[in-house]
Structure formats: structure tokens, C-alpha cells
């Protein structure tokens, strides 16, 4: 089911969380909230929208991390319902696209629910104070020449890193619904 994300709730404070990756290593959101901000993405393996942007997501997140903007990805789907989203498949999927950010398992789906995540992909851009400043798309995804796409997420995160505030106009992300238990 195709869903759009809600409009950005500017200033909403990110709830802290600690989740593990598929190898059992723990990551705490608050420890990744750097001086230039943090991007938290809700993604999964099976979603055709995530698969379609996998390479661009690798390139864009590497560019952001190079600029000092931290990145965490969260998989909140019920993988008993969609087994291919399970932790045992996550490292291979991430490697396939060259992802270098932590890809975390939200086993009890508490983080996805606390953030109000709706779909995959769902992007949350936070400033250094943990205040939401971006909830939009990776790019404008308009029909036509893919080289003419505007890199919405990169531009927004760069603005947040520089000013602490996101763009006033944002295009909602869209994707597959999160599979809740």
C-alpha cells in the first residue's frame, strides 16, 4: 500500500533510542546526534521504493556523513510477516547497495511507533538539538531525466547543518506502509 508521510512537525523532539544492528552491536540515537545534526531513516529490504533509491541513498548518505552529518537507518517492519526484512538478510542487502550507515533492527517496533513512521522510506532530519527539521523525500522524483532531480534530502540536511533549521517547503516522502505486528 502506497502512503505519503505527514507534514514536518518543526521542532518536535526526537525520542532517544538504543537499537542493535544485525550483528548485535548497539547504537544509541542520542550519541549520534552530532553538531551538524542527524538523519534517521526508516527503511526495509523488501520495499520497491527503497530498492529503487538504494544506490542514490548510498551516495547521498556518504556525502552527508563526509560533511559531519550522522546517519542511522531503522528497520521497523514485522519481519515475521515479511521474512526477507529479517536481521539475517539486512547486512547482505546493505552491502548490495554499499550502505555505510548503521542499519538497525526495531524488534518491538517501539521506535517506529514513537517516531510516527508511516512508510519506507521515511526520512527524519534533526538539528544538533534533536529537533525535527525535515520530513520529506530523498529527491523530487519528477518524471523525465533522472539527472535533473533535485536532491531534496541532501539540500535539507545541509541547510539544517548550517542554520539549525530545515526548508519551509518540503515534499512528503512516499513508499510502502510499515508492516506492523
Neighbours of 54 (CB within 10 A): 19
Q: What is the pLDDT of residue 5?
A: 79
In CATH, the number for domain 2-177 is 3.40.30.10
Per the listing, cell 520497491 goes with 48
For 68-104, write each residue's pLDDT tens digit: 999 999 999 999 999 999 999 999 999 999 999 999 9
- Is a pLDDT exceeding 80 seen at residue 123? yes
Nearest to 32 by CA among 98, 100, 113, 126: 126
Calpha distance 64→158 (Å, rounded): 8
Q: What is the pLDDT of residue 1?
A: 63
For 4-28, write each residue's pLDDT tens digit: 778 899 999 989 999 999 999 999 9
Calpha distance 112→74 (Å, rounded): 8
Q: Give percent above pLDDT 90 in the chain.
A: 82
**Selected residue with higher pLDDT from 55 and 141:** 55
Calpha distance 39→153 (Å, rounded): 9
Q: Partners of 39 in the beta sheet? A: 71, 125
Query: What SS3 state is found at 42?
Result: strand
Confidence of residue 144 (pLDDT cuts 50, 70, 90): very low
Q: What is the pLDDT of residue 139?
A: 85
Domain segments of the chain as ranges: 2-177
Query: What SS3 state is found at 154?
Result: helix
Supply 44's cell numbers: 526495509
Q: What is the pLDDT of residue 143?
A: 42
- Is a pLDDT exceeding 90 seen at residue 171? no
This prediction's pTM = 0.94
Q: Partners of 105 in the beta sheet? A: 20, 75
Amino acid at each position: 500500500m502506497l502512503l505519503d508521510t505527514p507534514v514536518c512537525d518543526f521542532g518536535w523532539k526526537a525520542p532517544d533510542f538504543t537499537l542493535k544492528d544485525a550483528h548485535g552491536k548497539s547504537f544509541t540515537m542520542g550519541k549520534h546526534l552530532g553538531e551538524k545534526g542527524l538523519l534517521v531513516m526508516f527503511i526495509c529490504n523488501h520495499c520497491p521504493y527503497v530498492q529503487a533509491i538504494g544506490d542514490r541513498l548510498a551516495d547521498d548518505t556518504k556525502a552527508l556523513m563526509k560533511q559531519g552529518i550522522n546517519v542511522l537507518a531503522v528497520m521497523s517492519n514485522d519481519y515475521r510477516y515479511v521474512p526477507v526484512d529479517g536481521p539475517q538478510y539486512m547486512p547482505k542487502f546493505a552491502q548490495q547497495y554499499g550502505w555505510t550507515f548503521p542499519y538497525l533492527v526495531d524488534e518491538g517496533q517501539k521506535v517506529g511507533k514513537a517516531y510516527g513512521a508511516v512508510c519506507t522510506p521515511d526520512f527524519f532530519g534533526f538539528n544538533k538539538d534533536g529537533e525535527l527539521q525535515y520530513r520529506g523525500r530523498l529527491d523530487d522524483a519528477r518524471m523525465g531525466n533522472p539527472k535533473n532531480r533535485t536532491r531534496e534530502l541532501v539540500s535539507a540536511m545541509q541547510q539544517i547543518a548550517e542554520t539549525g533549521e530545515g526548508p519551509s517547503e518540503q515534499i512528503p516522502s512516499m513508499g510502502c506502509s510499515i508492516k506492523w505486528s
